[in-house]
Structure 1
Amino acid sequence: MTTPTPFGARLRRAMDERGPLCVGIDPHASLLADWGLADDIAGLERFAYTTVEALADRVAVFKPQSAFFERFGSRGVAVLEQTVARAREGGALVVMDAKRGDIGSTMAAYAATYLDPASPLFSDALTVSPFLGYGSLRPAVDLARENGCGLFVLALTSNAEGQEVQHAVRADGSTVAATMLGHLKAENAGAEPLGSFGAVVGATLGDLSSYDLAGVNGPLLAPGIGAQGATPADLPGVFGAAVRNVVPSVSRGVLRHGPDADGLRAAAARFAEDVAAALDQAVV
Protein backbone atom coordinates (compact mmCIF):
# COMPACT_ATOMS: atom_id res chain seq x y z
CA MET A 1 0.00 0.00 0.00
CA THR A 2 1.42 3.37 -1.06
CA THR A 3 1.92 5.88 1.71
CA PRO A 4 0.12 9.13 0.80
CA THR A 5 2.20 12.27 0.40
CA PRO A 6 1.59 14.41 3.50
CA PHE A 7 -0.61 17.45 3.13
CA GLY A 8 2.18 19.78 4.25
CA ALA A 9 4.43 18.64 1.41
CA ARG A 10 1.63 18.93 -1.13
CA LEU A 11 0.69 22.36 0.15
CA ARG A 12 4.26 23.63 0.00
CA ARG A 13 4.56 22.44 -3.58
CA ALA A 14 1.27 24.06 -4.55
CA MET A 15 2.23 27.36 -2.92
CA ASP A 16 5.65 27.34 -4.58
CA GLU A 17 4.13 26.65 -7.99
CA ARG A 18 0.97 28.76 -7.82
CA GLY A 19 1.58 31.20 -4.99
CA PRO A 20 0.07 30.85 -1.52
CA LEU A 21 -3.36 32.40 -2.17
CA CYS A 22 -6.43 30.63 -0.78
CA VAL A 23 -9.80 31.61 -2.23
CA GLY A 24 -12.83 31.04 -0.04
CA ILE A 25 -16.04 29.78 -1.59
CA ASP A 26 -18.65 31.47 0.59
CA PRO A 27 -22.08 31.55 -1.07
CA HIS A 28 -23.60 34.29 1.07
CA ALA A 29 -27.12 35.23 0.01
CA SER A 30 -25.78 38.75 -0.61
CA LEU A 31 -23.09 37.48 -2.96
CA LEU A 32 -25.58 35.37 -4.89
CA ALA A 33 -27.66 38.53 -5.28
CA ASP A 34 -24.60 40.49 -6.43
CA TRP A 35 -24.14 37.88 -9.14
CA GLY A 36 -27.80 38.23 -10.18
CA LEU A 37 -28.58 34.75 -8.85
CA ALA A 38 -31.51 33.53 -6.80
CA ASP A 39 -30.85 32.31 -3.27
CA ASP A 40 -31.68 28.72 -4.19
CA ILE A 41 -30.00 25.51 -5.31
CA ALA A 42 -29.65 26.67 -8.91
CA GLY A 43 -27.97 29.86 -7.74
CA LEU A 44 -25.72 27.93 -5.38
CA GLU A 45 -24.63 25.57 -8.16
CA ARG A 46 -23.92 28.40 -10.59
CA PHE A 47 -21.93 30.34 -7.98
CA ALA A 48 -19.81 27.44 -6.73
CA TYR A 49 -19.14 25.76 -10.04
CA THR A 50 -18.32 29.03 -11.82
CA THR A 51 -15.78 29.92 -9.12
CA VAL A 52 -14.13 26.52 -9.33
CA GLU A 53 -14.07 26.44 -13.11
CA ALA A 54 -12.52 29.92 -13.27
CA LEU A 55 -9.78 29.38 -10.66
CA ALA A 56 -9.03 25.69 -10.03
CA ASP A 57 -6.13 25.61 -12.46
CA ARG A 58 -4.37 28.63 -10.93
CA VAL A 59 -4.94 29.03 -7.18
CA ALA A 60 -3.21 26.83 -4.62
CA VAL A 61 -6.17 26.36 -2.29
CA PHE A 62 -9.94 26.64 -2.16
CA LYS A 63 -11.71 26.97 1.18
CA PRO A 64 -15.42 26.24 0.87
CA GLN A 65 -17.42 27.35 3.90
CA SER A 66 -19.64 24.37 4.65
CA ALA A 67 -22.36 26.35 6.42
CA PHE A 68 -23.36 28.24 3.29
CA PHE A 69 -24.00 24.93 1.53
CA GLU A 70 -25.59 23.18 4.51
CA ARG A 71 -28.28 25.86 4.80
CA PHE A 72 -29.88 24.34 1.68
CA GLY A 73 -30.13 20.91 3.29
CA SER A 74 -29.19 17.69 1.54
CA ARG A 75 -29.26 19.29 -1.91
CA GLY A 76 -26.80 21.92 -0.74
CA VAL A 77 -24.48 19.26 0.66
CA ALA A 78 -24.66 17.50 -2.71
CA VAL A 79 -23.47 20.73 -4.35
CA LEU A 80 -20.65 20.90 -1.81
CA GLU A 81 -19.60 17.35 -2.67
CA GLN A 82 -19.42 18.28 -6.36
CA THR A 83 -17.59 21.53 -5.57
CA VAL A 84 -14.90 19.66 -3.64
CA ALA A 85 -14.52 17.00 -6.32
CA ARG A 86 -14.32 19.52 -9.17
CA ALA A 87 -11.82 21.70 -7.30
CA ARG A 88 -9.50 18.76 -6.60
CA GLU A 89 -9.86 17.47 -10.16
CA GLY A 90 -8.86 20.94 -11.36
CA GLY A 91 -5.60 20.79 -9.42
CA ALA A 92 -6.39 22.91 -6.37
CA LEU A 93 -6.17 21.71 -2.79
CA VAL A 94 -9.36 21.92 -0.73
CA VAL A 95 -9.51 23.04 2.89
CA MET A 96 -12.99 22.32 4.19
CA ASP A 97 -13.98 25.17 6.48
CA ALA A 98 -16.33 23.35 8.85
CA LYS A 99 -14.66 24.10 12.21
CA ARG A 100 -15.65 20.74 13.66
CA GLY A 101 -14.92 19.91 17.28
CA ASP A 102 -16.31 17.24 19.58
CA ILE A 103 -15.20 14.25 21.65
CA GLY A 104 -14.72 10.54 21.20
CA SER A 105 -16.73 8.71 18.56
CA THR A 106 -18.40 11.94 17.43
CA MET A 107 -15.05 13.54 16.59
CA ALA A 108 -14.06 10.32 14.85
CA ALA A 109 -17.23 10.55 12.74
CA TYR A 110 -16.49 14.16 11.81
CA ALA A 111 -12.96 13.14 10.85
CA ALA A 112 -14.24 10.29 8.66
CA THR A 113 -16.64 12.69 6.92
CA TYR A 114 -13.86 14.94 5.65
CA LEU A 115 -10.59 13.00 5.93
CA ASP A 116 -11.49 9.51 4.69
CA PRO A 117 -10.88 9.00 0.94
CA ALA A 118 -14.07 6.91 0.79
CA SER A 119 -16.22 9.88 1.81
CA PRO A 120 -17.93 12.04 -0.84
CA LEU A 121 -16.76 15.10 1.13
CA PHE A 122 -13.11 13.99 1.27
CA SER A 123 -10.91 17.10 1.42
CA ASP A 124 -7.21 17.79 1.66
CA ALA A 125 -7.59 19.49 5.05
CA LEU A 126 -10.20 20.49 7.60
CA THR A 127 -10.58 23.38 10.01
CA VAL A 128 -11.21 22.20 13.57
CA SER A 129 -12.00 23.75 16.96
CA PRO A 130 -9.82 22.63 19.88
CA PHE A 131 -11.78 24.22 22.68
CA LEU A 132 -13.00 20.93 24.13
CA GLY A 133 -9.30 20.36 24.74
CA TYR A 134 -6.64 19.66 22.15
CA GLY A 135 -6.74 15.96 22.98
CA SER A 136 -10.33 15.81 21.74
CA LEU A 137 -8.95 16.28 18.22
CA ARG A 138 -6.87 13.10 18.34
CA PRO A 139 -9.20 11.06 16.06
CA ALA A 140 -8.89 13.77 13.40
CA VAL A 141 -5.13 14.12 13.87
CA ASP A 142 -4.62 10.37 13.52
CA LEU A 143 -6.86 9.99 10.46
CA ALA A 144 -5.33 13.03 8.78
CA ARG A 145 -1.85 11.62 9.28
CA GLU A 146 -2.94 8.20 7.96
CA ASN A 147 -4.49 9.61 4.80
CA GLY A 148 -2.02 12.40 3.99
CA CYS A 149 -4.45 15.15 4.99
CA GLY A 150 -4.07 18.21 7.18
CA LEU A 151 -5.81 20.13 9.91
CA PHE A 152 -6.07 23.83 10.64
CA VAL A 153 -6.68 24.34 14.35
CA LEU A 154 -8.34 27.55 15.58
CA ALA A 155 -5.68 29.36 17.58
CA LEU A 156 -5.70 33.15 17.15
CA THR A 157 -8.85 34.03 15.29
CA SER A 158 -9.67 37.51 14.06
CA ASN A 159 -13.07 37.87 15.74
CA ALA A 160 -13.04 39.99 18.88
CA GLU A 161 -15.04 37.42 20.85
CA GLY A 162 -12.28 34.84 20.45
CA GLN A 163 -9.99 36.70 22.83
CA GLU A 164 -11.91 35.67 25.96
CA VAL A 165 -10.92 32.06 25.31
CA GLN A 166 -7.76 32.25 23.22
CA HIS A 167 -6.00 34.89 25.33
CA ALA A 168 -7.00 33.32 28.65
CA VAL A 169 -3.98 32.48 30.81
CA ARG A 170 -3.58 28.97 32.10
CA ALA A 171 -2.12 27.94 35.46
CA ASP A 172 1.34 27.55 33.92
CA GLY A 173 1.28 31.17 32.70
CA SER A 174 0.78 30.38 29.00
CA THR A 175 -2.23 31.54 27.03
CA VAL A 176 -4.65 29.05 25.55
CA ALA A 177 -3.55 30.15 22.07
CA ALA A 178 0.13 29.56 22.85
CA THR A 179 -0.77 26.12 24.22
CA MET A 180 -2.48 25.20 20.96
CA LEU A 181 0.51 26.39 18.96
CA GLY A 182 2.72 24.25 21.19
CA HIS A 183 0.64 21.15 20.45
CA LEU A 184 0.95 21.83 16.73
CA LYS A 185 4.70 22.27 17.04
CA ALA A 186 4.87 18.80 18.58
CA GLU A 187 2.71 17.30 15.81
CA ASN A 188 4.98 18.79 13.12
CA ALA A 189 8.34 18.01 14.73
CA GLY A 190 10.83 16.93 12.08
CA ALA A 191 8.40 17.39 9.18
CA GLU A 192 9.93 18.63 5.93
CA PRO A 193 9.37 20.78 3.94
CA LEU A 194 6.30 21.72 6.00
CA GLY A 195 4.18 20.04 8.64
CA SER A 196 0.57 19.11 7.92
CA PHE A 197 -0.96 20.47 11.13
CA GLY A 198 -1.50 24.19 10.96
CA ALA A 199 -3.20 26.99 12.83
CA VAL A 200 -5.86 29.53 11.95
CA VAL A 201 -4.34 32.94 12.71
CA GLY A 202 -6.12 36.13 11.70
CA ALA A 203 -4.31 38.51 9.39
CA THR A 204 -6.01 41.42 11.16
CA LEU A 205 -4.35 40.89 14.55
CA GLY A 206 -1.25 43.06 14.20
CA ASP A 207 2.13 42.17 15.68
CA LEU A 208 2.11 38.57 16.93
CA SER A 209 5.83 38.39 17.73
CA SER A 210 5.03 37.23 21.26
CA TYR A 211 3.87 33.92 19.77
CA ASP A 212 6.22 31.34 18.28
CA LEU A 213 4.46 31.06 14.95
CA ALA A 214 7.57 29.94 13.08
CA GLY A 215 8.09 27.16 15.61
CA VAL A 216 4.80 25.56 14.57
CA ASN A 217 6.57 24.35 11.40
CA GLY A 218 3.17 24.17 9.75
CA PRO A 219 0.90 26.27 7.58
CA LEU A 220 -0.89 29.30 9.01
CA LEU A 221 -4.28 29.89 7.46
CA ALA A 222 -4.81 33.64 7.59
CA PRO A 223 -8.36 34.91 7.05
CA GLY A 224 -9.06 38.61 7.04
CA ILE A 225 -7.50 39.74 3.75
CA GLY A 226 -9.79 42.00 1.78
CA ALA A 227 -13.25 42.70 3.17
CA GLN A 228 -12.17 42.32 6.81
CA GLY A 229 -9.56 45.03 6.42
CA ALA A 230 -6.16 43.35 6.22
CA THR A 231 -3.99 43.64 3.12
CA PRO A 232 -1.20 41.47 1.75
CA ALA A 233 1.26 44.20 2.78
CA ASP A 234 0.29 43.55 6.42
CA LEU A 235 1.42 39.90 6.36
CA PRO A 236 5.14 40.37 7.19
CA GLY A 237 4.32 42.59 10.17
CA VAL A 238 1.78 40.13 11.56
CA PHE A 239 3.61 36.85 10.92
CA GLY A 240 7.28 37.81 11.04
CA ALA A 241 9.63 34.89 10.49
CA ALA A 242 6.66 32.58 9.77
CA VAL A 243 5.42 34.62 6.82
CA ARG A 244 6.55 32.05 4.24
CA ASN A 245 4.21 29.51 5.83
CA VAL A 246 1.17 31.76 5.62
CA VAL A 247 -1.81 30.83 3.46
CA PRO A 248 -3.66 34.13 3.08
CA SER A 249 -7.38 33.60 2.55
CA VAL A 250 -9.53 35.92 0.45
CA SER A 251 -13.25 35.43 -0.12
CA ARG A 252 -15.40 38.45 -0.93
CA GLY A 253 -12.43 40.37 -2.32
CA VAL A 254 -12.35 37.89 -5.20
CA LEU A 255 -15.91 36.57 -5.29
CA ARG A 256 -17.56 39.96 -5.71
CA HIS A 257 -16.00 40.17 -9.18
CA GLY A 258 -18.16 37.31 -10.49
CA PRO A 259 -20.05 35.92 -12.26
CA ASP A 260 -17.67 36.81 -15.07
CA ALA A 261 -14.86 34.23 -15.06
CA ASP A 262 -12.34 36.75 -16.34
CA GLY A 263 -13.26 39.09 -13.49
CA LEU A 264 -12.67 36.34 -10.93
CA ARG A 265 -9.32 35.44 -12.51
CA ALA A 266 -8.19 39.05 -12.64
CA ALA A 267 -9.11 39.66 -8.99
CA ALA A 268 -7.35 36.50 -7.83
CA ALA A 269 -4.29 37.42 -9.89
CA ARG A 270 -4.13 40.89 -8.30
CA PHE A 271 -4.26 39.45 -4.79
CA ALA A 272 -1.65 36.84 -5.69
CA GLU A 273 0.67 39.51 -7.09
CA ASP A 274 0.25 41.66 -3.98
CA VAL A 275 1.00 38.68 -1.72
CA ALA A 276 4.10 37.82 -3.75
CA ALA A 277 5.31 41.42 -3.55
CA ALA A 278 4.79 41.48 0.22
CA LEU A 279 6.69 38.21 0.68
CA ASP A 280 9.54 39.39 -1.55
CA GLN A 281 9.95 42.44 0.69
CA ALA A 282 9.77 40.46 3.92
CA VAL A 283 12.93 40.03 5.96
CA VAL A 284 12.89 36.48 7.31
Structure 2
Amino acid sequence: MNEIVRVAKVFLAYIKRPNLYPELSRKIIKNTINRGNAFKGKEKTGLWAASESISQQEAVMKLFGKDATEFRRTFDEVLEKAQKNESECPIKMGGAGALELIYYACEFTHAKNVIETGVAYGWSSLAMLLSLKNREGTLYSSDMPYLDQDGDQYVGYVVPDNLKKSWKLFRFADKESLPKIFEENSTFDVVHYDSDKSYNGRYWAYNELYKHLREGGVFISDDIGDNSAYQDFCEKNNIKTTVVEFEGKYVGVFVK
Protein backbone atom coordinates (compact mmCIF):
# COMPACT_ATOMS: atom_id res chain seq x y z
CA MET A 1 0.00 0.00 0.00
CA ASN A 2 1.28 3.49 -0.84
CA GLU A 3 2.61 4.98 2.41
CA ILE A 4 0.66 8.23 2.04
CA VAL A 5 -2.57 6.29 1.45
CA ARG A 6 -1.83 4.04 4.45
CA VAL A 7 -1.18 7.00 6.77
CA ALA A 8 -4.34 8.75 5.57
CA LYS A 9 -6.38 5.59 6.13
CA VAL A 10 -5.05 5.21 9.68
CA PHE A 11 -5.66 8.89 10.47
CA LEU A 12 -9.27 8.67 9.29
CA ALA A 13 -9.78 5.52 11.34
CA TYR A 14 -8.58 7.38 14.43
CA ILE A 15 -10.91 10.30 13.67
CA LYS A 16 -13.88 7.91 13.67
CA ARG A 17 -12.99 6.61 17.14
CA PRO A 18 -13.00 9.34 19.81
CA ASN A 19 -11.88 6.84 22.46
CA LEU A 20 -8.55 6.61 20.60
CA TYR A 21 -7.90 10.38 20.40
CA PRO A 22 -5.40 10.35 23.30
CA GLU A 23 -3.30 7.75 21.47
CA LEU A 24 -3.54 9.73 18.22
CA SER A 25 -2.06 12.74 20.00
CA ARG A 26 0.77 10.63 21.40
CA LYS A 27 1.47 9.09 17.98
CA ILE A 28 1.78 12.52 16.37
CA ILE A 29 4.28 13.61 19.02
CA LYS A 30 6.18 10.31 18.85
CA ASN A 31 6.54 10.53 15.08
CA THR A 32 7.54 14.20 15.02
CA ILE A 33 9.07 15.72 18.16
CA ASN A 34 10.24 12.42 19.71
CA ARG A 35 11.01 10.55 16.51
CA GLY A 36 14.62 9.77 17.46
CA ASN A 37 13.61 8.48 20.88
CA ALA A 38 12.33 5.10 19.66
CA PHE A 39 15.83 3.62 19.32
CA LYS A 40 17.50 5.34 22.27
CA GLY A 41 20.37 3.21 23.57
CA LYS A 42 19.88 0.50 20.94
CA GLU A 43 23.60 -0.09 20.29
CA LYS A 44 24.43 -0.27 24.01
CA THR A 45 21.67 -2.75 24.75
CA GLY A 46 22.38 -4.80 21.66
CA LEU A 47 25.94 -5.45 22.83
CA TRP A 48 24.77 -6.15 26.39
CA ALA A 49 22.01 -8.53 25.32
CA ALA A 50 24.30 -10.45 22.96
CA SER A 51 26.86 -10.97 25.75
CA GLU A 52 24.25 -12.06 28.30
CA SER A 53 21.85 -14.17 26.24
CA ILE A 54 21.03 -17.86 26.60
CA SER A 55 18.61 -20.06 24.68
CA GLN A 56 14.92 -20.34 25.53
CA GLN A 57 15.39 -23.95 26.58
CA GLU A 58 18.24 -22.98 28.93
CA ALA A 59 16.16 -20.16 30.40
CA VAL A 60 13.12 -22.37 31.06
CA MET A 61 15.29 -24.89 32.88
CA LYS A 62 17.25 -22.24 34.78
CA LEU A 63 14.24 -20.22 35.96
CA PHE A 64 11.45 -22.78 36.15
CA GLY A 65 13.18 -26.16 36.31
CA LYS A 66 11.27 -27.49 33.31
CA ASP A 67 12.14 -29.16 30.01
CA ALA A 68 10.85 -26.71 27.41
CA THR A 69 10.45 -29.43 24.78
CA GLU A 70 7.50 -30.89 26.72
CA PHE A 71 5.32 -27.93 25.74
CA ARG A 72 5.07 -28.76 22.04
CA ARG A 73 4.69 -32.47 22.69
CA THR A 74 1.82 -31.80 25.10
CA PHE A 75 -0.03 -29.29 22.91
CA ASP A 76 0.90 -30.51 19.44
CA GLU A 77 -2.69 -30.64 18.13
CA VAL A 78 -3.64 -27.25 19.53
CA LEU A 79 -0.54 -25.60 18.07
CA GLU A 80 -1.03 -27.27 14.70
CA LYS A 81 -4.58 -25.95 14.51
CA ALA A 82 -3.39 -22.48 15.57
CA GLN A 83 -0.76 -22.50 12.84
CA LYS A 84 -3.43 -23.42 10.30
CA ASN A 85 -5.59 -20.52 11.50
CA GLU A 86 -2.68 -18.10 11.13
CA SER A 87 -1.97 -19.28 7.59
CA GLU A 88 -5.62 -18.72 6.67
CA CYS A 89 -5.88 -15.27 8.26
CA PRO A 90 -6.42 -12.60 5.57
CA ILE A 91 -4.19 -10.01 7.28
CA LYS A 92 -0.56 -10.14 8.43
CA MET A 93 0.34 -9.59 12.08
CA GLY A 94 3.25 -10.50 14.35
CA GLY A 95 4.25 -14.15 14.61
CA ALA A 96 4.59 -16.46 17.58
CA GLY A 97 7.09 -15.53 20.29
CA ALA A 98 8.81 -17.50 23.02
CA LEU A 99 5.75 -19.60 23.84
CA GLU A 100 7.54 -22.11 26.05
CA LEU A 101 8.95 -19.32 28.23
CA ILE A 102 5.50 -17.77 28.59
CA TYR A 103 3.71 -21.04 29.31
CA TYR A 104 6.18 -22.23 31.94
CA ALA A 105 6.21 -18.82 33.63
CA CYS A 106 2.48 -19.32 34.20
CA GLU A 107 3.00 -22.89 35.39
CA PHE A 108 5.87 -21.86 37.71
CA THR A 109 3.78 -19.18 39.42
CA HIS A 110 0.57 -21.28 39.45
CA ALA A 111 -0.88 -18.23 37.75
CA LYS A 112 -4.47 -17.18 38.33
CA ASN A 113 -4.17 -13.63 36.99
CA VAL A 114 -1.96 -12.74 34.03
CA ILE A 115 -1.58 -9.52 32.05
CA GLU A 116 -0.16 -8.95 28.58
CA THR A 117 0.24 -5.97 26.28
CA GLY A 118 0.10 -6.73 22.57
CA VAL A 119 -1.98 -9.58 21.16
CA ALA A 120 -1.88 -9.74 17.33
CA TYR A 121 -2.71 -13.32 16.28
CA GLY A 122 -2.83 -14.27 19.95
CA TRP A 123 0.09 -16.70 20.19
CA SER A 124 1.25 -15.49 23.59
CA SER A 125 -2.39 -15.33 24.69
CA LEU A 126 -2.80 -18.96 23.66
CA ALA A 127 0.25 -20.07 25.67
CA MET A 128 -1.03 -18.28 28.77
CA LEU A 129 -4.59 -19.54 28.42
CA LEU A 130 -3.40 -23.13 28.06
CA SER A 131 -1.88 -22.81 31.52
CA LEU A 132 -4.66 -20.71 33.08
CA LYS A 133 -7.36 -23.21 32.14
CA ASN A 134 -5.90 -25.60 34.73
CA ARG A 135 -6.66 -23.10 37.51
CA GLU A 136 -9.68 -21.23 36.14
CA GLY A 137 -7.51 -18.14 35.88
CA THR A 138 -7.98 -14.95 33.85
CA LEU A 139 -5.87 -13.33 31.17
CA TYR A 140 -6.16 -9.55 30.81
CA SER A 141 -4.88 -8.28 27.44
CA SER A 142 -4.30 -4.80 26.06
CA ASP A 143 -4.15 -4.32 22.30
CA MET A 144 -4.83 -1.46 19.92
CA PRO A 145 -7.17 -2.02 16.98
CA TYR A 146 -5.32 -2.73 13.71
CA LEU A 147 -6.46 0.44 12.01
CA ASP A 148 -4.36 0.15 8.86
CA GLN A 149 -5.66 -3.33 7.96
CA ASP A 150 -9.31 -3.30 9.09
CA GLY A 151 -8.16 -6.16 11.25
CA ASP A 152 -10.04 -5.77 14.53
CA GLN A 153 -11.93 -9.03 14.11
CA TYR A 154 -8.72 -11.00 13.57
CA VAL A 155 -6.98 -10.11 16.83
CA GLY A 156 -6.54 -13.35 18.76
CA TYR A 157 -7.27 -15.38 15.64
CA VAL A 158 -5.30 -18.44 16.78
CA VAL A 159 -7.02 -18.70 20.18
CA PRO A 160 -9.67 -21.47 20.18
CA ASP A 161 -13.16 -20.55 21.35
CA ASN A 162 -13.07 -22.93 24.31
CA LEU A 163 -10.28 -20.85 25.91
CA LYS A 164 -11.83 -17.41 25.38
CA LYS A 165 -14.08 -17.60 28.44
CA SER A 166 -10.97 -16.94 30.55
CA TRP A 167 -9.87 -13.92 28.47
CA LYS A 168 -10.61 -10.21 28.86
CA LEU A 169 -9.43 -8.09 25.92
CA PHE A 170 -9.15 -4.30 26.24
CA ARG A 171 -9.02 -2.56 22.83
CA PHE A 172 -7.18 0.65 23.65
CA ALA A 173 -3.59 1.84 23.82
CA ASP A 174 -1.75 0.78 26.98
CA LYS A 175 -2.15 4.18 28.65
CA GLU A 176 -5.90 3.74 28.50
CA SER A 177 -6.12 -0.05 28.83
CA LEU A 178 -3.85 -0.57 31.80
CA PRO A 179 -5.72 1.71 34.24
CA LYS A 180 -8.98 -0.03 33.25
CA ILE A 181 -7.40 -3.44 33.83
CA PHE A 182 -5.95 -2.41 37.18
CA GLU A 183 -9.42 -1.32 38.29
CA GLU A 184 -10.62 -4.88 37.72
CA ASN A 185 -7.58 -6.63 39.16
CA SER A 186 -4.59 -5.07 40.90
CA THR A 187 -2.11 -7.92 41.34
CA PHE A 188 -0.72 -10.28 38.72
CA ASP A 189 1.31 -13.47 38.71
CA VAL A 190 2.82 -13.00 35.25
CA VAL A 191 3.39 -9.92 33.10
CA HIS A 192 4.16 -10.16 29.37
CA TYR A 193 5.02 -6.96 27.49
CA ASP A 194 4.91 -6.82 23.70
CA SER A 195 3.27 -3.56 22.62
CA ASP A 196 4.63 0.01 22.19
CA LYS A 197 8.24 -0.38 20.99
CA SER A 198 9.36 3.19 21.73
CA TYR A 199 11.71 3.93 24.62
CA ASN A 200 9.22 6.18 26.43
CA GLY A 201 6.28 3.84 25.86
CA ARG A 202 8.21 0.86 27.19
CA TYR A 203 9.68 2.62 30.19
CA TRP A 204 6.32 3.99 31.30
CA ALA A 205 4.62 0.60 30.93
CA TYR A 206 7.43 -1.33 32.64
CA ASN A 207 7.06 0.82 35.75
CA GLU A 208 3.28 0.52 35.82
CA LEU A 209 3.28 -3.23 35.26
CA TYR A 210 6.07 -3.88 37.76
CA LYS A 211 4.07 -2.19 40.53
CA HIS A 212 1.25 -4.66 39.96
CA LEU A 213 3.41 -7.80 39.75
CA ARG A 214 3.40 -9.81 42.97
CA GLU A 215 6.55 -10.95 44.73
CA GLY A 216 7.59 -14.22 43.12
CA GLY A 217 5.79 -13.28 39.90
CA VAL A 218 7.44 -13.38 36.48
CA PHE A 219 8.05 -10.38 34.21
CA ILE A 220 8.68 -10.99 30.48
CA SER A 221 9.37 -8.41 27.78
CA ASP A 222 9.81 -9.13 24.08
CA ASP A 223 12.17 -7.30 21.71
CA ILE A 224 14.32 -5.70 24.42
CA GLY A 225 17.06 -4.98 21.87
CA ASP A 226 15.00 -2.27 20.14
CA ASN A 227 16.29 0.31 22.62
CA SER A 228 17.71 0.44 26.15
CA ALA A 229 14.42 0.87 28.04
CA TYR A 230 14.48 -2.65 29.50
CA GLN A 231 18.16 -2.58 30.42
CA ASP A 232 17.80 0.87 32.01
CA PHE A 233 14.69 -0.22 33.91
CA CYS A 234 16.43 -3.28 35.33
CA GLU A 235 19.55 -1.36 36.29
CA LYS A 236 17.55 1.40 38.00
CA ASN A 237 15.60 -1.15 40.06
CA ASN A 238 18.57 -3.45 40.77
CA ILE A 239 16.88 -6.31 38.93
CA LYS A 240 18.96 -9.30 37.88
CA THR A 241 17.44 -10.35 34.58
CA THR A 242 17.89 -13.27 32.24
CA VAL A 243 18.24 -12.45 28.55
CA VAL A 244 16.91 -14.99 26.06
CA GLU A 245 17.96 -15.07 22.41
CA PHE A 246 14.96 -16.06 20.30
CA GLU A 247 14.95 -16.08 16.50
CA GLY A 248 17.51 -13.29 16.26
CA LYS A 249 15.82 -11.08 18.86
CA TYR A 250 16.11 -10.75 22.61
CA VAL A 251 13.57 -11.38 25.36
CA GLY A 252 14.05 -10.23 28.95
CA VAL A 253 12.68 -12.24 31.88
CA PHE A 254 13.04 -12.11 35.64
CA VAL A 255 11.34 -13.34 38.82
CA LYS A 256 10.38 -10.48 41.14
Q: TM-score of the superposition, structure 1-length normalised? A: 0.32
TM-score of the pair, normalised by structure 2: 0.34
